[in-house]
Amino acid sequence: MSQPVMGGFDPLNKDFFESVFNWAGIGIGVVDTTGSYWRINDAWAQMLGYTNEELLTKSIRDISDPSDAERSYFSLNAMIRGEIDSYRFEKCFIRKDQKKIYCDLIATPFKNSHGKIVGVIGVMIDITNRKLLEQQLLSLKDLYAGSALVHQNLLQQKELSFLLEEVCRIGVSYGGFLAAMVADLDRNTRQLHIRTTACSDPVIKKILDALELSSDPESPAGIGTVGESVRTGKPVFINDFMAHPNTGLWKERARYSNVRSVASFPLKKKGEVTGTLIVLSDKIGYFHSEVLSLLTSMSESISYCIDSLDHRENLLLSSTVFREAIEGVIIADYHGKVLMANRSFHEITGFLPEDILGKDIRCFHSDSHDRNLFRKIFKAVASSCKWEGEIWNRRQNGQIRLHRLSVVGIKSREGQLTHFIGFLSDITAQREEEDRMRRLAFHDPLTGLPNRMLFHDRLDQALRGAKRSDSVIGICYLDLDDFKPVNDQYGHQVGDELLKEISIRLQRSIRESDTVCRIGGDEFIILFSNVLDENEMEYLGEQLLKEVSKPFAWGDELLYVTASAGLALYPHDGAGSTDLLTQADWAMYQAKKYGRNRLFWKAAPTAQNDKEP
């Protein structure tokens, strides 16, 4: 099947296409300026579940998940217009079998012999397994938070029905369950009656409330997950509900309700099964080992609570619930003296029981807080019986960690505050990861410089400030000359080290109020604030060129690169960011046109020792 030639450019005649396109495991596709596929390799087609011929009849929009189809076309059109030189993001495609596939996609334009952009070439790697793992970890993290909240409720609730309603509600809110239910067992009829149901969809809730359930193995309603769990007294789960042979009685309602996985966890009183906690998910394979372990522990704690509900004070100090809590738990008396702490608390803080029992609870806090912090916590708990916030605590080894702390107050029958219970979780790693992700979103990973996104934000701020103060700001668009030969001759490692060194030099040569950004490849943009006039702007630009042109030592060799730079001033060259960037970009290309290693300032280029073209 012959392929058309786009815009006078025929990649089929290029040797690199044949070798790169056949690189196993890496999907490579080419689209024209309308987004229609022009050529794809076998790996690309296999990832999407199509044949090559089928894909060539489709466009990007045809196989993109609706959630990011518009983003793909926006980026494609921006590249065709020359506004961006590449883009990279995680993209979701819809395979031929309608399953989602997540890919790491990198796209760059290519041009015909006249320099016109005639299409875009994309390279993608299947990251579906990684994304699913991330989603699973995120779901598990929320589930752990929900479990901790359930344990808090177990310590506080006095009425069983309300407690079970809260357990189901928390499971749906935090665990992402489709629904959570509690059913009571009638020992005489062996029927199970729905006691409470939590579900965000009222129609599905109504369907679930009407389910027929039984523990009788001779009854059609007793051969499923719930019946088996109640009979055996053990958790039972099905990870593909629609495919399981024992779910026929409920399949139509499950199909309508989008139930895909089901698990049942028996609830007991004095060792005898009295009911079950039923959890439903809209995901196939939801109940993996960690989820099952967490929910089993939760159901056992509920059973203990049911067993001991008439003995509230014993429950508060119960070692069983205490030990099962996911969070660190510490109990102190009215005066703040530590009475008990669970294993998780010791693991989080590093303090052994003998280190803290009888000590003042304030012995853990660091010096990072107001001296009156504990007084404020006491006041809040005394008035509302609870306080929640973040606190910097000191571990036994002196390390300072960020903890999420929830404190509840326990009152006597007379209403007097008698004890404090603190629930502690270490969120240091979570906060560090959030900070790292924020930095990756706004900084270049190689050089650590602000990236294009952060540059635009700072430029917008600078323009607003300049308009208010009637001041001048400048932009220098700088592109390295002959950087590619360095990469080709010495390798990308040397090229990366050179880029990092150039970044350091550029930062060294600007003022504290200025900003250097790397926007991709060997291109940088420098934002100068409060520029006096054109002469100062030109001086600043020349300093940048001098820094770049200094030799770079690599082993026994000295490498030399230069730079071409274009300048633009606000308000002389434009009132908005688009106008200024367009002017600076144009000027940079003029500097290259006039021989490189120079500035281009409006109509006349300048360079070291060469002020005339």
**Could you write out the DSSP letters of every residue in 566-604?**
EEEEETTT-SSHHHHHHHHHHHHHHHHHTTSSSEEETTE
Shortest CA distance to 234 belongs to which of 262, 188, 266, 259?
A: 266
User: For the chain, first and last CA: distance in Å?
Assistant: 52
Amino acid 134: pLDDT = 57
Grouping H, G, I as helix, E, B as strand and the rest as coil, residue 491 is coil
Interstrand relation of 27-32 and 599-601 (parallel, antiparallel or unpaired): unpaired
CATH match of 132-316 with 3.30.450.40: yes
Query: At residue 362, what are phi and psi to the nearest 5 degrees?
Result: -75, -5
Cβ neighbours of residue 567 closer than 8 Å, sequence gap 6 or more: 474, 475, 476, 477, 537, 538, 541, 584, 587, 599, 600, 601, 602
Report the CATH superfamily, name and number, of domain 11-126: PAS domain (3.30.450.20)
pLDDT at 2: 46
Distances (CA, A) of 580 to 67, 466, 543: 33, 14, 21
Q: Find residue 528's DSSP bridge partners.
A: 474
Determine the length of the chain.
613
Whether pTM > 0.75 for this model: the answer is no
Domain ranges of the chain: 11-126, 132-316, 327-431, 443-606
Radius of gyration (C-alpha) of the chain in whole angstroms: 33
Whose CA is closest to 76, among 55, 54, 91? 91
- For the domain made up of 327-431, the CATH class stated in words is alpha beta
Tokens matching residue 158: 């006095």
> Phi, psi (5° rounding) for residue 214?
-150, 160
Does 443-606 match 132-316 at the fold level?
no
CATH of 443-606, one of 3.90.180.10, 3.30.70.270, 1.20.58.340, 3.40.50.150: 3.30.70.270
- Judging by DSSP bridges, how do beta strands 562-570 and 599-601 pair with one another? parallel
pLDDT, averaged per 10 consecutive residues of the chain (613 residues), comes to: 48 54 70 82 85 84 81 81 81 86 83 82 79 57 56 60 79 79 90 89 86 88 88 90 83 86 88 89 82 78 68 49 70 83 83 80 69 78 83 81 85 82 84 76 86 90 92 94 89 92 92 91 93 90 93 89 94 90 92 90 52 37
